[in-house]
């Protein structure tokens, strides 16, 4: 059944069916109630943690390289605390508004404009995430070039050399046609349960091997201790610190999925322990992965740390471990792609305009939207050079809105008069930090692009 979003006029028949489709099963109401009553705390922690951990984990080592290990760990802890605060605000205000989705809560607080703004933000956020997935898969399988002009070979180029069928564009096209398209055309998210389970297993393989390699090299004394603080030499290096902010912000955004998990859990009192457990788990994974990646590769850490796994690691079976690490995470992203895509498709359909016929029932509309989105993501991934560029701009706009600005704005508006003084102080702090840091991040990103363009023109002139 097609999900609906809030009508600011408050029509009862729409309010009863509001939910994001990401974890929806497409079952009948009777079956959905049965599934809802059987949801466990452990399963809810797993679902929320899966929503949090995504491709952003690959950019964290590069972010740690920019700000230093100590500042990076502190940033992860701070963002986890702010995420917990924003999620608590969302759930508490949703209960007061009797809202069963983020979109409905935005509609109840800000009317039709709030609902539309939420949908646009979710559209930009999820599209950015999927573009990042395709970029990483291209980096892993076909390779990438660093800023100093050094080309890091991907798995396929390492095996077969550089040719047209190992090129980035062709590998991305093949992946899109053979993997993304077939899985994206499933009409029910429940159909993806087996591929999602396999995706989690592949992510665990990546984390374990990376940690093992780092420990071996630490014991051998072949790598040095990580830099704890940022390397500040001039004004440019200070501005550069802010480019890491969107990466940290992007890492914890799971807000658009919390209402669905809460509804499945059944008992609202259990949701807070689920959130806390998920944030502790994900913070630990993020910190360890970021530190392992930075310690392992040091100042040579690339924007996408997976691209670093193309050199001799100085341990036995280095080449085999490199390939296993890269292939396992590339396959992981391929299998996660359709889960994120599922909510993107329905959000776009609702944004374009309501229809009397559900998207599941209208095959022509379903095919057109699915094909159009997949084609757009493929083209965008081929024009954006690195995941650092993608995270800088999506993290500085839609993601920070979904994660911090929208929840804080709801608390400050306080349509039901339930906000505490602490809520309002923390909300002002979240908005101030989000707006300030991301204005600087956007400026520094645009400035960096401009400087790169000027440098290229000067090289051509010479």
Residue 17 lies inside a defined structural domain of this protein: no
Q: Which domain holds residue 300?
A: 37-461
Per-residue pLDDT at 357? 67
Residue 238 lies inside a defined structural domain of this protein: yes
Q: How far apart are CA 262 and CA 260, in angstroms?
A: 5
Question: What is the Cα Rg of the chain in Å?
Answer: 22
Residue 180 lies inside a defined structural domain of this protein: yes
Residue 14 lies inside a defined structural domain of this protein: no
Name 331's Cβ contacts closer than 8 Å, sequence gap at least 6. Answer: 198, 199, 202
List the CATH number of the domain containing 334. Answer: 1.20.1740.10
Residue 31 lies inside a defined structural domain of this protein: no
Per-residue pLDDT at 294? 86
Residue appearing with tokens 């850490």: 301
Per-residue pLDDT at 7? 43
Per-residue pLDDT at 445? 64
- 201-226 burial: b if 16+ Cβ within 10 Å, else e: ebbebbbebbeebbeebeeeeeeeeb
pTM of the model: 0.74
Per-residue pLDDT at 366? 85
Residue 457 lies inside a defined structural domain of this protein: yes
Show the tokens assigned to 319.
């080449």
Residue 45 lies inside a defined structural domain of this protein: yes
Per-residue pLDDT at 124? 83
First to last CA, the chain: 62
Residue appearing with tokens 């990580």: 226
Q: Is 39 left (phi over 0), alpha (psi -120 to 50) or beta?
A: beta
Per-residue pLDDT at 93? 92
Do 247 and 391 meet the contact criterion of CB atoms below 8 Å apart? yes
Provide the residue-wise pLDDT of the chain in tens; the chain has 462 residues.
Answer: 334 434 433 433 333 333 333 333 333 344 444 444 445 677 777 777 777 876 667 778 888 888 888 888 998 998 899 899 899 999 999 989 888 888 889 999 998 899 889 888 888 888 888 888 888 888 788 876 655 556 667 778 777 777 777 777 888 889 889 988 888 887 665 566 667 667 777 777 777 888 888 888 888 777 777 777 777 777 667 767 777 777 787 788 888 778 777 877 777 788 889 899 889 888 888 888 888 888 888 877 877 777 777 777 778 888 888 888 888 888 888 877 887 787 788 778 877 876 656 666 778 888 888 889 999 998 888 877 665 555 556 555 777 888 889 999 999 998 888 988 888 998 998 888 778 767 766 776 677 667 666 666 666 666
Largest pairwise CA distance in the chain: 72
Q: Tell me how many domains the chain contains.
A: 1
Residue 78 lies inside a defined structural domain of this protein: yes
Nearest to 246 by CA among 445, 90, 70: 445
Show the tokens assigned to 122.
């979710």
């Amino acid at each position: 059944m097609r999900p609906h979003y809030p009508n600011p006029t408050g029509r009862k028949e729409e309010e009863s069916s509001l939910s994001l489709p990401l974890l929806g099963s497409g079952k009948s109401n009777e079956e959905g109630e049965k599934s809802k009553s059987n949801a466990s705390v452990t399963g809810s922690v797993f679902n929320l943690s899966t929503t949090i951990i995504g491709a952003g984990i690959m950019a964290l080592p590069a972010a740690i390289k920019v700000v230093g290990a100590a500042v990076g760990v502190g940033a992860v802890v701070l963002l986890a605390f702010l995420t917990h605060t924003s999620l608590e605000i969302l759930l508490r205000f949703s209960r007061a508004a009797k809202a069963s989705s983020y979109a409905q809560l935005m509609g109840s607080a800000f009317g039709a404009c709030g609902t539309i703004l939420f949908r646009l933000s979710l559209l930009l956020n999820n599209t950015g995430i999927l573009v990042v997935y395709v970029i990483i898969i291209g980096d892993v399988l076909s390779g990438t070039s660093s800023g100093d002009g050094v080309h890091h070979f991907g798995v396929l180029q390492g095996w077969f050399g550089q040719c047209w069928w190992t090129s980035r564009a062709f590998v991305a096209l093949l992946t899109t046609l053979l993997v993304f398209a077939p899985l994206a055309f499933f009409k029910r998210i429940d159909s993806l349960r087996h591929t999602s389970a396999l995706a989690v297993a592949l992510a665990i393989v990546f984390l374990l091997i990376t940690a093992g390699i780092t420990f071996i090299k630490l014991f051998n004394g072949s790598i040095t201790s990580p830099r704890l603080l940022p390397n500040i030499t001039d004004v440019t290096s200070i501005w550069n610190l802010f480019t890491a902010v969107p990466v940290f912000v992007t890492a914890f955004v799971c807000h658009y999925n919390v209402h669905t998990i809460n509804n499945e859990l059944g008992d609202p009192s259990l949701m807070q322990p689920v959130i806390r457990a998920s944030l502790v788990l994900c913070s630990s994974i993020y910190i360890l992965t970021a530190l392992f990646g930075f310690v392992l590769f040091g100042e040579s850490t690339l924007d996408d740390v997976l691209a670093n796994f193309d050199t001799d690691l100085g341990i036995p079976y280095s080449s085999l471990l490199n390939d296993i690490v890269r292939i396992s995470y590339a396959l992981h992203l391929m299998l996660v792609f359709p889960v994120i895509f599922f909510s993107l498709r329905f959000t776009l359909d609702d944004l374009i305009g309501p229809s009397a016929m559900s998207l599941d029932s209208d095959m022509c509309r379903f095919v057109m939207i699915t094909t159009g989105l997949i084609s757009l993501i493929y083209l965008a991934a081929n024009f954006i050079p690195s995941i650092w560029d993608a995270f800088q701009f999506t993290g500085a706009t839609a993601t920070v809105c979904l994660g911090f600005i929208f929840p804080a704005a709801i608390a400050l508006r306080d349509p039901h008069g339930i906000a505490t003084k602490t809520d309002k102080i923390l909300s002002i702090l979240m908005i101030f930090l989000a707006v300030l840091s991301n204005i600087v991040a956007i400026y520094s990103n645009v400035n960096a692009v401009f400087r790169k363009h000027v440098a290229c023109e000067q090289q051509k002139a010479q």
